[in-house]
Amino acid sequence: MKFSVITLGCTLNKAEGDIMKNILIKKGYEYTENPDESEILIINTCTVKGPTESKAIKLINKYKDKKLILAGCLVQHQPELFKGYPLIGLDHIDEVDKVLEDYLNGKIDVLIDRKNINKLLLPSVDQYPIKTIILQEGCLWNCLYCATKLARGNAKSYPPEYIYKELRDAKLKGLKIIYFTGTDLATYGYDLNIDLADLLFGLKDIKGEYYVRIGMANPGILNKFIDKLLESYNNENIFKFFHIPVQSGSNNVLKTMGRGYSIEDFYELVEKIRKRYYEGTIATDIIVGYPTETEEDFRKTLELVENIKFDIINISKYWPRPKTLSYKLYKQLPGHIVKERSRKLKIIFNKYAYERNKEWLNWEGYAVVESKGKYENTWIARNYAYKQIIVKSDKNILGKTIKVKINNITPIDLRGELLEIKEENLLEKTLY
């Protein structure tokens, strides 16, 4: 029987969707990328925002004639939305084959209770040249607006030895780009009496050509060990990439969100990063239109963007999520105000991101090609600072290390000329 998996949401969700996919492939089911061709469809949901919930509902309605199995954060957070369907909670993805077999035999399983599971021991799917490794799940905060915490619970870390093994196995397969992912990597190791920096220092013992991208880390905890973390980044195998969600430039809004840090703390954090790794990419998340956000609060957010000149901003309009405290406590701002603030923020971001990218003009150096581009014969590569570089080539250079020269820029990427395709050193893959 043919099956398909549609995953909504973050890199962690994608990794879990790939695990379920590989379990079913190993059980003899035939996978197809096209849901229209499948008899069985797994929809791996996300609960972060209202639009992702709406998208899940639309997919269910669109494919209602197929055998549907629902999984992911929205299922864990609001199972009552999906009565009559087999449900796979976050801690039961290892049982997807059992759930499917039961479903085909007329039994509907609802597995949303919590249990201990090591997802690094489950079979995953690699997307050449990228390998995603789950470091941890959950977080230590209780932000008033966050439904993800309600779904994933408190932070839980996977021991370093499992992570290093996954990395070594990926290297042997020739996978050069490694995503370290989780809900909040700043909390990694709190339950193991170590921290993220300790894990990264251990990469020094794993030789060869590979590049690790560190996922999202919340500033409230990151501030406590930022100096140590920056020292652990002193490794050519680690992209100089920092995803630190600020959410707002106003202390008033941060306080009513329950974020656990001040904007002064955030400025100090960024100052230390830029002092050590000036060219590194700093990405952030900003919520516009939080119910307590005044015009003055929003002005402070614009000021923050002007001062820091973020390389990437994920801008989200506030969406009240059921069962969260902000949903219960606050009345939403008018939609037209939220929409206008989002528009203004995008304009300011583009202006300053363009200015920052101008500093890369005429840069020459090496980058690794991570994926095909949007247009024919275009490719997306990443350099040491995790800058997105678009190059043209009629050759298949996926996974190759290339030398480029930057000759054009936009606010969101660099455009480069391909100068050289680096020769592969096969011995590097076997070096531990």
Numbered ranges of CATH 3.40.50.12160 in the chain: 2-111
CATH number 1.10.3430.10 given to 364-430: no
How do residues 62-82 score in pLDDT, each as one tens digit?
A: 999 999 999 999 999 999 999
| Pairwise CA distance, residues 256 & 275, whole Å | 31
Within the chain, all domains assigned CATH 3.80.30.20 are found at 119-358
* Tens-place pLDDT, residues 252-282: 999 999 999 999 999 999 999 999 999 999 9
Q: What is the dihedral angle through the alpha carbons of 189, 312, 320, 325, rounded to the nearest 10 degrees?
A: 30
Angle between helices 295-308 and 263-276 (to 10 degrees): 10
- 218, pLDDT greater than 60: yes
Superfamily of domain 119-358: tm_1862 like domain (3.80.30.20)
Parts of the chain belonging to CATH 2.40.50.140: 364-430
Query: How would you classify the pairing of strands 40-45 and 2-7?
Result: parallel
What pLDDT, in 10s, does the model give residues 396-422?
999 999 999 999 999 999 999 999 999
**Residue 12 contacts residue 137 (beta carbons within 8 Å):** yes
pLDDT, position 424: 76
2-111 domain in CATH 3.40.50.12160? yes
Convert the pLDDT of each residue in 2-26 to its tens digit: 999 999 999 999 999 999 999 999 9
Tell me the two tokens of residue 116: 């201990």
- pLDDT at site 425: 65
- Please give the model's pTM, rounded to 2 decimal places: 0.95
